[in-house]
Structure 1
């Protein structure tokens, strides 16, 4: 099973057909994804489920439905165990961004965290889940595929929020502050943290 978010509502990719309650089932092979996105955005529908018999082909088939944007990001811990958050477009988020040229996804993740926050000395400790969300640019829907990495750093210098990317704050948040921040964040980020 995979979740692809449209705002905070999921499109669930699954091989299991269940009786519809507060969601709607569609066949992955024949679905019009743009119509599904519009339905999620304009109705009280909680989620949509796209069904395909082969569990192994779910994400591959879905990703062919819209243009893909590949990104890398970091869930960064400091020595106290706090997590690095950015405040962008009036929501708390984790730093991430698009692949540049021929860099590896790990290089992308580290570069984006550095660019968006000013934090340096990053070391990847392990890969995390990949997230998927749909966004609209220049009138077209696209799927952002974000490869996340857990990172650590001993950085304790000054933050430099990347303002031209809409980032107004960069902060280390402890467990209590994270709980509060997640009330104003994205479903994908809640799942990662």
Structure 2
């Protein structure tokens, strides 16, 4: 059984866990009893960057209850390296990001991950490896609260191919980034992306 879940809502993070996570920043605890995600989400609109904590004996049960309140969308993406051990980043919506996109109906998640990377960056994936992690991100679309579950996979390409950003998807730049340059990029990225990189000890 999973010990903890982390849901990203804009610049806010909700932890659902059995024990208080090691945090540098302050964290606000919320009572599990009577907790409703939609009310919590609406109240967040007036909140600036904060961490919230649901401390409970059964994180998986609480998370499943939240999922039932929301519309779940599956997405997949890649942590891609080239022959120089550089990492593939994209620039979209004025932030650095990793390539990812929605899983099509009937499509396998791991296949969607490769397809999205190839479409968004104009590269050919040579090998897809194991899953890096899953991330959860909440946003609003057409007055509906969406929970996007993204599965991230290791991927490699041959050589160091030229990148072609998919401009129709709002990607203005795709770049190979050396490990020592990653810290500069994460100054302008999402907490979710920082966590994917941390899971691979790249930060």
TM-score (norm 1): 0.90
Between the two proteins, the alignment pairs up a number of residues equal to 190
Query: 3-state SS of the aligned residue for 1:42?
Result: coil
Q: Which residue of 2 aligns with 1:82?
A: 86
1:78-118, Cα deviation, whole Å (9 max, x unpaired): 01111000000000000001111211111000000001100
For the residues of structure 1 that align with 2:145 and 2:55, how far apart are their CA atoms? 21
Q: Is the 8 A contact 2:11 2:49 kept in 1?
A: no
1:135 counterpart = 2:139: yes
Aligned to 2:34: 30
Matched, 1:70 2:67: no
Q: In structure 2, list runs of 5 or more residues that go unmatched.
A: 198-203
RMSD of Structure 2 on Structure 1 (CA): 2.0
Alpha-carbon distance between aligned partners in 1 of 2:89 and 2:78, rounded to the nearest angstrom: 10
3-state SS of paired residue (1:190): helix
Q: Deviating runs (4+, > 4 A) in structure 1?
A: none
Return closer, same or farther for 1:180/1:45 CA change in 2, 3 Å cut-off. Answer: closer
TM superposition shift of 1:44? 4.3
**Which residue in the other structure is 1:168 paired with?**
172
Relative to structure 1, the CA distance from residue 45 to residue 86 in structure 2 (aligned partners, 3 Å threshold; closer, same or farther) is: closer
The Cα of 1:49 is off from its aligned counterpart by 2.0
State how 1:104-115 maps to structure 2 within 5 Å. Answer: 104-115=108-119
CA distance in 1, matches of 2:82, 2:44: 38
> What CA distance in whole angstroms lies between the structure 2 residues aligned with 1:79 and 1:45?
37
Contact 1:3–1:132 (Cα < 8 Å) also in 2: yes
Deviations 1:1-23 (A, max 9, x none): 111001121111123489xx741
Q: Aligned residue for 1:5?
A: 8
Structure 1: which 5+ residue stretches go unaligned? none
TM, length-normalised to structure 2: 0.85
